[in-house]
């Protein structure tokens, strides 16, 4: 069990001058059925980040 918990601990990596990135565990991404290059929305709630699928706004046609 300890091995699985450690696999979900990640480090922030500097990407360019103004950003940081974090990799997501592939098993969690697979459970969400997310794909490579999928758009996601990152929000801050208290002291935690929320990462959710991005949904385009529906047009009123």
**What pLDDT band is residue 59 in, cutting at 50, 70 and 90?**
confident
What does the pLDDT read at residue 44? 97
**CA 31, CA 18: separation in Å to the nearest integer?**
30
The rounded mean pLDDT for the chain is 89
> What does the pLDDT average to over 16-38?
93
How is residue 55 written in tokens?
């949904």
């Amino acid at each position: 069990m300890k091995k699985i918990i450690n696999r979900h601990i990640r480090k922030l990596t500097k990407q360019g001058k103004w950003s940081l990135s974090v990799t997501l565990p592939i098993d969690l991404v697979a459970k969400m059925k997310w794909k490579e290059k999928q758009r996601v929305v990152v929000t801050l709630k208290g002291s935690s980040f929320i990462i959710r699928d991005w949904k385009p706004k529906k047009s009123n046609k």
